[in-house]
Structure 1
């Protein structure tokens, strides 16, 4: 499959099976995703695998952040969550927004690679990524921010990629104003 075909076929899988890639299966995908555009090759990102009881711990952290008593079941929607962390590096040349863009690029590229490898993926974000219980659970340092999680699992049998409406590219691509 070409990169063009992979991008055109991409979709979010909100429901996945209990299958997930192993740590060793993830390593070459992460290595490839790390090839994104990265000014000064700072590699201002890292990824954290959450499996099994780690997802339950995240559910408790989410409930603490929301002020709820019961643990959130949201992290149990997939057998593997991959937390995407931007790790800001000191740089006079590369502003923080550009470093966050590189980390987001890794997440998106990894989601494409996982999809191409046959896994269902959904990138979940939200205001809880900035809360103290969730930040503490992930062991984030002062120079780090959580961008969200890739929820990863098997693609359900009989479920093909849903047809997506074609984007009107002309609406989003223009010449420089005169």
Structure 2
């Protein structure tokens, strides 16, 4: 049971996380980033396929992205959106061949990595916001990132320093009762208790 938030640091971190639309020019080093990406990779991953990767964009990389966004939208001038943060992390779903794990499940893993990584960055003191757009899946944008034929871009984490005195974006508390439910009684009423298989009981198999 949860007696206090202090007993569960992860719970406190999740509750305090906010999106930062404006950040300073400070950014985490590559060494720090490697540590956080390694930790984010611990998300649930069926068959341990690791169907994801993160592309680190700094400096002129962001200008190249701005040009690709402009091409995707048919604009003459490069987009300045990537310049809103000193570090932009592209989240990529890299699909693996698997008879067990469909593409949608692999994409869910990549999305999980992005969410955990954003939480870790926030907890480490960095301002983060996840940005997307209609151009996310555009060919010009995919080419700028060097994506393969079995890869898709899910969006970008914009990362930078948290401005002193600035307030992060607000996020209303979620009413859990509106999102946590039970299986309909009409479904359960027509199902009889199914005894466990003898083989499973003997071997003590664990199901995912």
TM-score by length of 1: 0.97
Runs of 4 or more, structure 1, over 6 Å off, are none
* Aligned counterparts of 1:87 and 1:64: Cα–Cα separation in 2: 24
Distance 1:102 1:26, change over 3 A: same
* Aligned counterparts of 1:169 and 1:93: Cα–Cα separation in 2: 32
Structure 2 residue aligned with 1:86, among 83, 89, 93?
93
* Aligned counterparts of 2:80 and 2:167: Cα–Cα separation in 1: 26
* Aligned counterparts of 2:142 and 2:110: Cα–Cα separation in 1: 17
* Aligned counterparts of 2:100 and 2:80: Cα–Cα separation in 1: 42
TM-score by length of 2: 0.83
Q: Which residue of 2 is the match for residue 133 of structure 1?
A: 140
Question: Which aligned pairs between 1:13-162 and structure 2 lie closer than 5 A?
Answer: 13-161=20-168
What is the number of residues matched between the two proteins?
A: 178
Query: Gapped runs of 5+ residues in structure 1?
Result: none
Contact residue 9 and residue 161 of structure 1 kept, 8 A:
no
Q: Secondary structure at the match of 1:63?
A: helix
Structure 1 residue aligned with 2:175, among 137, 145, 168?
168
Structure 2 residue aligned with 1:5, among 2, 12, 35?
12
Residue 36 of structure 1, CA deviation: 0.2
CA RMSD of aligned residues (A): 1.1
Contact residue 20 and residue 169 of structure 2 kept, 8 A:
no
Relative contact order, higher structure (CA 8 A, sep 6+): 1
- Bigger CA radius of gyration: 2
Residue 163 of structure 1, CA deviation: 5.0
Contact residue 20 and residue 154 of structure 1 kept, 8 A:
yes
Distance 1:143 1:162, change over 3 A: closer
Contact residue 81 and residue 151 of structure 1 kept, 8 A:
yes
Contact residue 131 and residue 156 of structure 2 kept, 8 A:
yes
